Amino acid sequence: MWEVAVKHALHKLPLPASPPALVDVSVRRFALKLLPISVDHALAAANLPGHHKDPFDRMLIAQAVVEDLTFATADGRIRMYEVARLWAT
């Protein structure tokens, strides 16, 4: 949601509703569990190798590593990180 909210605020991502409203609807509709950004996540993101420059993706990679989660992506640059991956097409 960090990336969605930032891009929406910059008028780079049109949305049918505000980011907070979309979070509320999506959490209920898809039974999502939200993962807040912690200090451990921030420190892990800062210590990742520089393969990927996008700060949003780096945070997601760090969260997946710290929380032992599988990262679903179609971004080939993620292969350079030691994180469990599920390749989306």
Domain boundaries, the chain: 1-34, 39-87
pLDDT, position 88:
79
Beta bridge partners of residue 86, listed in sequence order: 72
Q: What is the pTM of this model?
A: 0.82
When pLDDT is averaged across residues 4-32 and rounded to a whole number, the result is 94
Q: Which amino acid is at 4?
A: V
Which tens digit of pLDDT belongs to each residue from 37-61? 999 999 999 999 989 889 999 999 9
With 0-12 CB in 10 A as exposed, 13-18 as middle and 19+ as buried, what is 12?
exposed
- Size of the chain, expressed as the number of residues it contains: 89
What is the reported pLDDT for 29?
96
